[in-house]
Amino acid sequence: MADLEIRNLHVRTEDREILRGVDLAVNKGEIHALMGPNGSGKSTLANTILGHPAYEITEGEILFRGQPLTEADPEDRAQAGLFLAFQYPAAIPGVSVANFLRMAMNTKREEPIGVKEFGAKLRHATDLLHVDREFTSRHLNDGFSGGEKKRCEILQMAMLEPEVAVLDETDSGLDIDALRTVAEGVNKLHDETGMGALVITHYQRILHYVTPDFVHVMLDGRIVREGGPELVEQLERQGYDWLREELEVLTGAPEEDDV
């Protein structure tokens, strides 16, 4: 059984069905890429995995290490070992990055982490990711650039050490230097902690720096093709239209509009 297992997942929001039977399995130590055009359901899957209340599961289930998470609260999913890097991280003025990290770590512990232990762990994480220690004194995401917000989320991953991280379009809006910094952070955490990752993107560029073991392509709320890194190269050459055309041939009907 996989660490994170999604079985026949159907999800709707308001009056629209967005996911139409998704099956996906991610183990610790594996890097998966979930690709697809805008509106194909990728971010809906990410938010559903972490328990966003706006998304209703109408069929199927989510399991983590064999335990059902379909109806679990977001904090319970995080404590179990899941992490979501948001596409648009929220700012929290008045709360420093360091204080936020300490509070987040304490939610997973029976006893609050000591000052000395926290300081040592923070130093290790900032050194590993080449983050200036002064960065952790700033208010969380307040006035941060896009690259700084994403770097902050990678720092959170280093401190919380999730079993599996879901990265929802972490490459969105990043320049090439920020993209490399984020990708390098993901690779280092994967190598050091064995973290599993589900990298959700509609671009190929982050996958030039984070090499996936498995690639899944989503169209119209379904995973329609799976493969290895070679599938990324094929999508870069041909886009997604060839898959739509292939599905039309197989089903005998045009693919529904993306949602």
Residue range 77-90, pLDDT digits in tens: 998 999 988 777 88
> Where do runs of H (alpha helix) occur along 107-175?
115-129, 146-160
**Side chain identity, residue 236:** E
Q: How confident is the model at residue 129 (pLDDT cuts 50, 70, 90)?
A: confident
Question: Does some domain include residue 178?
Answer: yes
Report whether 199 contacts 33 (CB < 8 A). yes
pLDDT at 259: 41
Question: Does some domain include residue 27?
Answer: yes
Q: How far apart are CA 150 and CA 156, in angstroms?
A: 10
φ, ψ at 154 (rounded to 5°): -65, -40
Question: Does some domain include residue 243?
Answer: yes
Q: What residues make up the domain containing 171?
A: 4-88+164-251
Q: How far apart are CA 246 and CA 42, in angstroms?
A: 20
Question: Does some domain include residue 110?
Answer: no
Statement: the pTM of the whole predicted model exceeds 0.95: no
Is 60 exceeded by the pLDDT of residue 253?
no
- Kindly report, residue by residue over 177-226, the tens digit of the pLDDT: 888 888 998 999 999 999 999 999 987 889 999 999 999 999 999 999 99
Q: What's the structural domain count of the chain?
A: 1
Report the percentage of the chain scoring pLDDT > 90: 67
Question: Does some domain include residue 58?
Answer: yes
Question: Does some domain include residue 184?
Answer: yes
Question: Does some domain include residue 32?
Answer: yes
Question: Does some domain include residue 141?
Answer: no
Q: How confident is the model at residue 257 (pLDDT cuts 50, 70, 90)?
A: very low
Tokens 């966003």, residue located: 52
Residue 241 belongs to domain with CATH number: 3.40.50.300
- Kindly report, residue by residue over 12-58, the tens digit of the pLDDT: 998 899 999 999 999 999 999 999 998 899 999 999 999 999 999 99
